Structure 1
Amino acid sequence: MKQIINSSKAPAPIGPYNHSVMVGDLLFISGQIPFNQATETLVTTGIQDETKQVMQNLYYIVEEAGLTFEHVVKATIFIRNMDHFSMINEIYGSYFSAETAPARECVQVEKLPRNVNIEISMILHR
């Protein structure tokens, strides 16, 4: 049976989906973009700030589920410009220890929701 987990601190879904779904010991988190729920604005001040906001949104959902980033087993990063990879990687990497970092892929895409530059989804194991 699946359990829906949403966080009031993360941006509200803009379509027919939820922030995350727990099935057994796995938590599947929908892709998060750099939208700041507190100010109701998109963060557009550079890829580092955008990445920090995405990771903060993911944190809110992970926290609501009673987990931590140490529970992340897989992350998928979608970016519009692969030239930003090193800056994104620096911010993203600061949330994990090298010894327990999750599996991951990073792909460049042509367009993302609301024309943002980054979106990240995650899978966690409880």
Structure 2
Amino acid sequence: MAEIIRKLISTSKAAKPVAPYNQAVVVDRTVYVSGCLGLDKETKQLVVGGAAEQTRQALQNLIVTLEAAGSGVDKIIKNTIFVKDLNDFGTVNDEYKKVFTSHFPARSCVQVARLPMDALVEIESIALTGKVKTETISD
């Protein structure tokens, strides 16, 4: 059986994890990005404001983590968004659409009882590395 390499990704361009986990793990050509919070990498605190500001920062942390893993938002195949309050769904989508403008990945968005550091939003992703060809199938 061939050996599989597991790459543990850590970048100083994103906020450091708030618990014992890696920012991302790459296995073969698949990137698993841990939940990104709206943390400022310098202060290690949630950005000031509400769901929009935290979503914007969480997406920025996601973008730089993907880049460190040799991927990008255009190679994401699945996002999961956790929100403290589903009433923020529209606000989160407004920020999300600034990053994801076409060829949207699959996605779930769920309200949860509580997030680390009492965050309002957390985003985790599964992406690919290398050359990716996108085809659209519709009926």
Q: After TM superposition, is the score higher than 0.5?
A: yes
Length, aligned pairs only: 125
Structure 1, gaps ≥5 residues long: none
Matched, 1:114 2:117: yes
CA RMSD for the aligned pairs?
1.1
Deviations 1:46-95 (A, max 9, x none): 11111100001101101112221000000000001111101101111211
CA distance in 2, matches of 1:46, 1:97: 23
The percentage of aligned residue pairs carrying the same residue is 35
Structure 2, gaps ≥5 residues long: 130-139
What is residue 88 of structure 1 aligned with on the other side? 92
Q: Which amino acid aligns with 1:79?
A: V
Deviating 4+ runs (over 6 angstroms) = none
C-alpha deviation, 1:8, in angstroms: 0.7
CA distance in 2, matches of 1:123, 1:67: 10
Matched, 1:71 2:113: no
CA distance in 2, matches of 1:90, 1:15: 29
Q: Alignment partner of 2:101: what SS?
A: coil
CA distance in 2, matches of 1:28, 1:40: 22
Larger Rg: 2
TM-score by length of 1: 0.94
What is residue 128 of structure 2 aligned with on the other side? 125
What is residue 16 of structure 1 aligned with on the other side? 20
Higher strand proportion (structure 1 or 2): 1
